[in-house]
Structure 1
Amino acid sequence: MKLIGVIPARYHSNRFQGKPLCLISGIPMIKRTFMQVIQASCLSDVYVATDNELIYNYCENESIPVMMTSANCLTGTDRVAEISQNIDADLYVNIQGDEPVIDPLAIEEIVNEYKLYSNEYIAYNLYKMANKEEAISDTIIKVITNNKDELVYMSRSIIPYEKNDLQIQYKKQVCVYGFTKESLEIFSKFKKTPNEKHEDIELLRFIDLGYKVKMKETKCASIAVDVPSDVVKVEEYLQNAK
C-alpha cells in the first residue's frame, strides 16, 4: 500500500501573511511541520505543495521534497488533488502546513482508519475534545459527529448550542485528512458548496454533496497556527516539552 503525505503551504493568508515561513523558536514553521510528518513510518513519501516561489525555494534549499501547484487552487485539498494527478497512491494524507507540532501518531491513526474502512467513506479526519475557550474561538473549527463517529457538521461558531444546563463535550478539528485519488477527483470536480463557502471549511463540500466522512477522536498533540499570536502558544508548548 502506497501512502503519500502532502503538506499544502500557502503564503498569502488574510489572517497571517507568509505564515509557512514564520519563525518558531528560530525555525520556519514549514520545516517544523515537515520534520514532524516524516516521523510517521507509514508514509512512503512526503511532499510540500505550494504555489509560492519563496516557499518553494526555501524547501529546495533545505532538501525538503516540494512540488509547485497551480495558483488557481482555492483550498489545500485542491493542492493535494493536483499532486495526486502526478503521483499514484492508495491514500493521500493531507497535513496542514500550519501544524508545526503535529504528532506523527495522528497520521498513523488516519491510515489505520482507512485500512479498517477503505472506500466506505469519502474522507477521513480527526478531532479532539475542546474546552470552552477553544469552543468560542472562530479560528478553531468545531465538530459534530453521530454515534458512528461520522461527520454531521463543522463550524467556526460554537456548536452544539447549549440550551439546557447539560455539560457539553465540545470537539475541535485536527487538520489531518485522508483522501483516495477518487475522493480528490470528486472534490475537484465541484465548485465550493454553500456551507463550505459560509464556514470556509473544505470538508463541508463532501457533506453538502451527500458523502460520508469518517471522524476519529485523537489524544495526539496539535496546535494550529491561524494568527500570529498562536506562534507564542507553540513556542510555549515546545519549551514545556523539553
Structure 2
Amino acid sequence: MRVLGVIPARFKSSRFPGKPLVKILGVEMIKRTYMQAKNAKTLNKLVIATDDKRIFDFCKQENLEVVITSESHLTGTDRIAEVAHKIHADFYVNIQGDEPIIDPKSIDEIVNFALDSHKKGKKYEVFNLYKNISPKEAQRNSIVKVVINENNELIFMSRFPIPFSKSNENPNYKKQVAVYVFSAYALKLFEQSFKMHGKGVNERFEDIEILRFIDMGEKVKMLECFYDSISVDEPCDVELVKKWLVGNKK
C-alpha cells in the first residue's frame, strides 16, 4: 500500500502568524518538521502543502518537496484532501507543520498500526496518536485533550481539561499528538461533509478538525505515543522546543 506524508503549512495562523518560517536555533520550523518526518521509514513520499508563496518559495529554495493548494481551506486536513486529488495514495499521513521535534518512530508506529488494522479487516479509516500529560499541562487551552473508551476509540477532544473530575482525584489526562492517518476514503468523507454542511458543530466550537469525523459518526482509532512531542501553537512554545533541542543536543 502506498503511504503519502503531507505537512500542511499556512502563514496566516491566528495565534502565531508566520510560524512555519520562524527560526528555531537557526533553522526554520517547517524545515525541522520536514527533516524529522523524512526519517520515517513507512512513507513512500513526503510533501509540504501550502497556499502561501513565501512558504512555497522557501521550500523550493531548500529542496523540500512542496505543492501549492487553495487559500480557501479552513483546516490542514481539508488541504490534504486537495492533495489527494493530485497525488494518489492508499493512506495519507497528516503531519502538522508545527511539530518540529516529531519523532519519526511515532509516524512509523501509527502507519504500521493503520496498515495492520486494514490487513486484519478492522473497520477504521482514521487513526490518531495520544500521549499522557500532567494536570498542569492539561490546563492550557492550546493543548487538545483526549477522552477514549476501553477499545481505544475516540470519544471526544476538547481544549477544556477533560474528563472533569467531580472529586479531588486527578484524571489521567491525555493530549492529542498531531499525527493522523487517513484512508483515501476518509478524506473523501471529510471533504464531502464540508461541502454539504461546512464544519461540524463540535469541530467549529472547539476548533479541532478531527472532531468532524466524530460529528459524522465515524470512528477514530487512537494509539498511545511514548515519544516526545511539542506542538508550537504560541510564540512561548518556541522556547520549550529550544530547551528540548539543547537538552537533547539536536
TM-score tier (shorter): over 0.9
Secondary structure of residue in 1 paired with 2:140: coil
Matching of residue 232 in structure 1 with residue 235 in structure 2: no
Q: How does 1:146-157 map to 2 (within 5 A)?
A: 146-157=149-160
SS at 1:56 equivalent: helix
Choose the corresponding residue for 2:125, options 108, 116, 122.
122
> Counterpart of 1:166?
169
Look up the SS of the partner of 2:165 in the other structure: coil
Please report the RMSD computed on the Cα atoms of aligned residues, expressed in angstroms.
0.8
What's the CA shift for 1:113? 1.5
Unmatched 5+ stretches in structure 2: none
The alignment partner of 2:151 has SS state of coil
Structure 1 counterpart of 2:67, one-letter code: M
Which amino acid is 1:134 matched to?
A: E
* Whole-angstrom distance in 2 between the partners of 1:198 and 1:65: 34
Who is 2:222 aligned against? 215
Tell me, in whole angstroms, the C-alpha distance in 2 between the residues paired with 1:135 and 1:197. Answer: 21
Contact 1:122/1:206 (8 A) holds in 2: no
- Alpha-carbon displacement from aligned partner over 1:49-92 (angstroms, at most 9, x marks no partner): 00000000000000000000000111000111111111111110
Alignment correspondent of 2:20: 20
Distance apart, 1:233 and its partner CA: 0.3
- Partner of 1:120: helix, strand, or coil? coil
User: What is the identity, as a one-letter code, of the residue corresponding to 2:96?
Assistant: Q
- CA positional deviation for 1:115: 1.5
Give deviations 1:92-140, integer Å, cap 9, x for gaps: 0000000000000110111122112226113100000011111010000
Partner of residue 145, structure 1: 148
SS in 2 for 1:202: coil
**Unpaired runs of 5+ in structure 1?**
none
Given the two structures, how large is their TM-score scaled by the length of structure 2?
0.95
Tell me how far 1:166 sits from its aligned partner.
2.8
- When the two structures are superposed, what TM-score results if normalisation uses the length of structure 1? 0.98
Moved over 3 A (4+): none
Percent identical pairs in the alignment equals 49
2: CA distance, partners of 1:34 / 1:113: 22
Q: Which region of structure 1 is more displaced relative to structure 2, 74-83 or 116-125?
A: 116-125
- Contact 2:135–2:170 (8 Å) recurs in 1: no
Q: Secondary structure at the match of 1:88?
A: coil
Counterpart in the other structure of 2:85: 85
